[in-house]
Chains A and B, each alone.
Chain A
Amino acid sequence: MNPGDAIPELRTTPDRFLTVRYAGASGDFNPIHIDEEFAKQVGLPGRILHGLWTMAQVARAQTEAAGGPQSLARLAVQFRGMGVPEAELEVTGEVREVRDGVAIVDTRAVQNGKAIIRNAEAEVRLPTIQG
Chain B
Amino acid sequence: MNTDAVGKTYAPTVYAVGREKIKEYALAVGETNPLHLDPEAARAAGFRDVVAPPMFCVVYSSPSIGPAIFDPDVGINFAMMVHGGQEFAWGPLVVAGDEITTTVSVKSIEERAGNGFYVFESQSVNQEGETVCTGTWTNIVRGMS
**Partner of A77 from B30, B79, B87, B93 at Cβ < 8 Å:** B87
| Least Cβ–Cβ distance between A27 and chain B, in angstroms | 5
In chain B, positions 49-97 with a C-beta closer than 8 Å to chain A are: 51-55, 58-59, 62-63, 79, 82-90, 93
In chain A, positions 68-114 with a C-beta closer than 8 Å to chain B are: 68-70, 72-79
Residues of B in contact (CB 8 Å), total 32
Q: Which residues of A contact B62 (CB under 8 A)?
A: 26-28
- Is the CB–CB distance between A60 and B83 below 8 Å? no
- Is the CB–CB distance between B89 and A74 below 8 Å? yes
Q: How would you classify the secondary structure of chain B's contact residues: helix, strand, loop or mixed? A: mixed
Q: Which residues of A contact B93 (CB under 8 A)?
A: 69-70
Given the known interface contacts A63-B33, A74-B88, the answer about A52 and B53 at a Cβ–Cβ threshold of 8 Å is: no
- Is the CB–CB distance between A21 and B54 below 8 Å? no
Residues of A in contact with B (beta carbons under 8 Å apart) = 12, 18, 21-22, 24-28, 42, 51-53, 55-57, 59-60, 63-64, 68-70, 72-79
A selection of 22 A-B contacts at a CB cut-off of 8 Å is A22-B28, A25-B21, A25-B24, A25-B29, A25-B59, A26-B28, A26-B59, A26-B62, A27-B62, A42-B79, A51-B83, A52-B55, A55-B55, A59-B54, A60-B31, A63-B54, A64-B33, A68-B35, A73-B90, A74-B87, A75-B88, A79-B86
